[in-house]
Structure 1
């Protein structure tokens, strides 16, 4: 068989380069198409994602038609090609089926290397599609296979995927527990790479918890271990998070030293690869390294060198993913703030905020806004800074409540898992089963009582946070209300008139109130009204803002008029649908109207004593 591997790759990469901007927002991984078959010569990519996927499917079908005639390594290579091609799509079941066929053939040929790699890809398939249950189900068997064949890199990389999945789901305690198990396992096997992965994972957890000193200690340990390994991928990632943590802890001299070591590691790897006739793709690695060098230099007084490094990073960032752009924009904001070029810094912060919001990362968006507010204040734009800070504070309170609920759910899950393990052990001894059942029932009842107490406590805390957030909004409105007219924009003036109208006429209590009628009341048009609300109410629509005012109003009624039915108060506030009222109330307050009233009653009783 003629080997068409290199020509095929060249053709594919040439065509994919023209389509990369179209597929960047949907791809889960960098495209890797390696083949020994002339089928890849049939690829004809157009400039749309749909046609790219159609061509991919056509190539896959072509390989499958001829695969029965292939044997040995050629057959394994063809099945590997199918796995890589299917991974370009967005079909979990298709990827799993392709991996199952590859693993079956590898097992038949007793090729443990390909078998192990297919298992790693399966684990990361579950990880990419956020299938936690499947990952937990199949990981133990795959780890057993990898340990049996001493595929330790695959073994600990697969295990780390489980830890990261827990961490990104907000299950910090579970991730910490799993990391301890990995560390104990690596120690038992006396495996340096496993200990390095464990230290890296532990550092990530501490970084998430903002325990910077412990995170830095773990990352340094990971660096020392991973520097001894041939595979430097995790080492470079560790340099990145170590630099970020030193930055957060204001240890800029140490950050500079780490960033310089990081660059040397990349340079050495590049030189070694080129000596072997291979040109590695390292733009992303270099970009993050140069951004770290930028921060370290301007924070240690060398702004000129920082600007030079930033220019290099900007060139390396061109055409890269949104996540890379977020990081670049953040560093650009910081540098220009440091240089006193506030307009430039504010523009970069606003661009970053819009990008992050579009990406759906509300937590990072708040951090960007907080940085923007600080720069606005430094630049002498006090009104804009105050409004931005008020919004950030209210949003942070809401996120803390959500985080508390997630932690309660995680603790409950851990408790239930421990209970299941206990019951499994108990089943081994029939003579004690009755006693254990009684104990389990008592524990379950106790657990249920504790959960209810915690839930009630959570709702109380949520109630207090809501009140604080409302007070913050009231203060922000007062700032806007008392500000001199010559300091306000047209939108802010219109927004102030709108709030006065709501306060004096209670016009929002009319269920039929719409944007046209409201605009007429204010003597303006719907476009100016929508723009004013969007600017002053942090992107809300007219309908969303009206509903927010109704929710604030009904919240006060629930406290001040305890004798009136909950549903009646919703109608008085302007809601003409019970289901809409309850849904919006729970979305805004985090609890039902009845729960809200009960907590307010308890608060009033305590205050009266």
Structure 2
């Protein structure tokens, strides 16, 4: 597995020549079906690394699942993410990354876990989603801290520092990278630590060059060199020669800035012995930077231009580095006396810088527009949810009110039924009392009771109470008595009622009988027939007397 990891790193950074790659893939595709176990996995992985095709990585993953090989499966998932990062939209990539990270963390394959994280962060940064990239790097560091993985913490800080570097925030980059160096475990512990340590040292040297800090450049160049020496001790292969060449380049840069130009030249000449034909110049970019600087300081502008042109070809598409190379070439041309060409390059540099700034502004505007749309959608969703809550609450409240109304109506109906039954019982009782009074000898009653009996008989026969304008004086004359004596007779025989209450009570009793017995009359007509000259008075006193409206009284009287 150690050799496979080295091969993966090498092929990812420095792909093969197309013709050789095609021939190798064809041979491996024929060979793979005949292989078993790890041999088949290695062949499939070699095909996928060469083609960088998602379908081939899916084959690697499927085979690893068949073998139930967690390490091989993790390797396949990570490299599939690398493949997707170059092809898929960010939204799709994010979904795949989330699934891969979930598996890698749960299976505790932290080397692949943090490598996948780093690939995703770099993809976000390249897509100019810089805030998301910074936040994801913070999330990566926090995940590493929670899992107590110092190597993961170092990788998170390294990718954070590299982003600061590309944003020209060199002081911040140095702080992040030095913290990464501090938390990184000893590079002698494992291969991944060795590779991460070298990467951190590489970015530290690059940042020290930008800050023109010769002391730190010397320190970290020496530590990078120690890393390479340890590789040689453990016989860890480097097919490209990238690491010894890069170590020599940074040490040469430190020598040049210390005035040791000849030593730097000798060291760079020695670095040439590690460079391999067929390997892309990108593997040796730091060598060409150092060689350009060395030749420039020796006033060999022709040689310096050759080196800087190599860098320009290497850095096409990597704008921060390409612009630096362009500016450097303009300076060399100016020293060479080629003012027109130098001016043309300066103009091109300014135009590209402006173009990048416009792209940055456009990207920010797009992001602001996106944020606006997101906020608008969130507001709409929040408002929709609020209206949903209001509607739900209203419906719930309506249901509660309706249920309460039903309960109240049923209770009211039961109460009114009881009141109606009591009314009927009272009517029967009054009839029995009247019947009993009629059989009594008239001489046995008091004069007031005799007068009241005459009044009751008159009211029963002539229904005088139905006259809205009936006065106590009129009744007194009909009964051949005075008003005071009549009032006393009424008060004595009706538990203290006055004339008005007595007449109203007769009207209500008559109205109740009409409501029960005469369906041809409307409720209002019953009130008029009973002697009420005002409907409002009729309804009010009826409710006070019977505890319900005349309409309800009639309805309840019809129930069986």
**What TM-score results when the alignment is normalised by the length of structure 2?**
0.61
Answer yes or no: is 1:53 the counterpart of 2:22: yes
The whole-number CA distance in structure 2 between the counterparts of 1:418 and 1:158 is 30
Answer yes or no: is 1:250 the counterpart of 2:209: no
* Equivalent residues of 2:48, 2:57 under 8 A apart: no
RMSD across aligned positions (CA): 3.3
Answer yes or no: is 1:157 the counterpart of 2:102: no
Match of 2:356 in 1: 399
Q: Evaluate the alpha carbon distance shift between residue 411 and residue 224 of structure 1 in structure 2; reply closer, same or farther with a 3 A threshold.
A: farther
Match of 2:62 in 1: 101
The whole-number CA distance in structure 2 between the counterparts of 1:28 and 1:50 is 17
The whole-number CA distance in structure 1 between the counterparts of 2:385 and 2:37 is 48
- SS of alignment partner, residue 170 of structure 1: coil
Match of 1:369 in 2: 326
* Residue ranges of structure 2 left out of the alignment (5+ in a row): 393-560
The whole-number CA distance in structure 2 between the counterparts of 1:373 and 1:101 is 53
Q: Evaluate the alpha carbon distance shift between residue 424 and residue 180 of structure 1 in structure 2; reply closer, same or farther with a 3 A threshold.
A: farther
Answer yes or no: is 1:88 the counterpart of 2:17: no
The whole-number CA distance in structure 1 between the counterparts of 2:272 and 2:241 is 11
Match of 2:165 in 1: 207
Q: What CA deviation, in whole Å up to 9, does each residue of 1:185-204 have, x standing for no partner?
A: 22222321221111111101
Answer yes or no: is 1:313 the counterpart of 2:271: yes
- SS of alignment partner, residue 51 of structure 2: coil
* Equivalent residues of 2:241, 2:276 under 8 A apart: no
Q: Which one of 35, 41, 63 corresponds to residue 79 of structure 1?
A: 41
The whole-number CA distance in structure 2 between the counterparts of 1:200 and 1:417 is 32
Q: Evaluate the alpha carbon distance shift between residue 159 and residue 300 of structure 1 in structure 2; reply closer, same or farther with a 3 A threshold.
A: same
Match of 1:390 in 2: 347
Q: What CA deviation, in whole Å up to 9, does each residue of 1:498-538 have, x standing for no partner?
A: xxxxxxxxxxxxxxxxxxxxxxxxxxxxxxxxxxxxxxxxx
* Equivalent residues of 1:317, 1:328 under 8 A apart: no
* Equivalent residues of 1:356, 1:362 under 8 A apart: no
Q: Which protein has the larger Cα radius of gyration, Structure 1 or Structure 2?
A: 2
The whole-number CA distance in structure 2 between the counterparts of 1:404 and 1:316 is 44
Match of 1:234 in 2: 196
Answer yes or no: is 1:304 the counterpart of 2:262: yes
Match of 2:401 in 1: none
Match of 1:135 in 2: 93
Answer yes or no: is 1:264 the counterpart of 2:236: no
The whole-number CA distance in structure 1 between the counterparts of 2:100 and 2:384 is 28
The whole-number CA distance in structure 2 between the counterparts of 1:156 and 1:420 is 34
Q: Evaluate the alpha carbon distance shift between residue 130 and residue 226 of structure 1 in structure 2; reply closer, same or farther with a 3 A threshold.
A: farther
Please state how far the C-alpha of 1:268 moved relative to its aligned partner.
Answer: 1.6
Please state how far the C-alpha of 1:252 moved relative to its aligned partner.
Answer: 1.2
Q: Evaluate the alpha carbon distance shift between residue 419 and residue 260 of structure 1 in structure 2; reply closer, same or farther with a 3 A threshold.
A: farther
Match of 1:322 in 2: 281
- SS of alignment partner, residue 50 of structure 2: coil
The whole-number CA distance in structure 2 between the counterparts of 1:79 and 1:175 is 33
* Equivalent residues of 1:76, 1:105 under 8 A apart: no
* Equivalent residues of 2:240, 2:283 under 8 A apart: no
Correspondence 1:391-540 to 2 at 5 A = 391-413=348-370, 431-432=388-389
The whole-number CA distance in structure 2 between the counterparts of 1:351 and 1:163 is 28
Match of 1:485 in 2: none
Please state how far the C-alpha of 1:342 moved relative to its aligned partner.
Answer: 2.8
Please state how far the C-alpha of 1:306 moved relative to its aligned partner.
Answer: 0.8
Segment drifting more, 340-349 vs 216-225 = 340-349
The whole-number CA distance in structure 2 between the counterparts of 1:51 and 1:282 is 16
Match of 2:251 in 1: 293
Correspondence 1:578-589 to 2 at 5 A = none
The whole-number CA distance in structure 1 between the counterparts of 2:23 and 2:391 is 62
Match of 2:442 in 1: none
* Equivalent residues of 1:160, 1:197 under 8 A apart: yes
Please state how far the C-alpha of 1:291 moved relative to its aligned partner.
Answer: 0.9
Q: What CA deviation, in whole Å up to 9, does each residue of 1:62-121 have, x standing for no partner?
A: 422x36xxxxxx43541342232233125333x233134224314xx3x32223222222
Match of 1:478 in 2: none
Match of 2:178 in 1: 220
The whole-number CA distance in structure 1 between the counterparts of 2:385 and 2:26 is 52
Please state how far the C-alpha of 1:429 moved relative to its aligned partner.
Answer: 7.7
Please state how far the C-alpha of 1:402 moved relative to its aligned partner.
Answer: 1.5
* Equivalent residues of 1:171, 1:407 under 8 A apart: no
Q: Evaluate the alpha carbon distance shift between residue 211 and residue 89 of structure 1 in structure 2; reply closer, same or farther with a 3 A threshold.
A: same
Count, aligned residues: 381
The whole-number CA distance in structure 2 between the counterparts of 1:314 and 1:169 is 35
* Equivalent residues of 1:260, 1:293 under 8 A apart: yes
**What TM-score results when the alignment is normalised by the length of structure 1?**
0.56
The whole-number CA distance in structure 2 between the counterparts of 1:31 and 1:351 is 18
Please state how far the C-alpha of 1:269 moved relative to its aligned partner.
Answer: 3.0
The whole-number CA distance in structure 1 between the counterparts of 2:131 and 2:168 is 14
Q: Evaluate the alpha carbon distance shift between residue 233 and residue 326 of structure 1 in structure 2; reply closer, same or farther with a 3 A threshold.
A: closer
The whole-number CA distance in structure 1 between the counterparts of 2:282 and 2:240 is 16
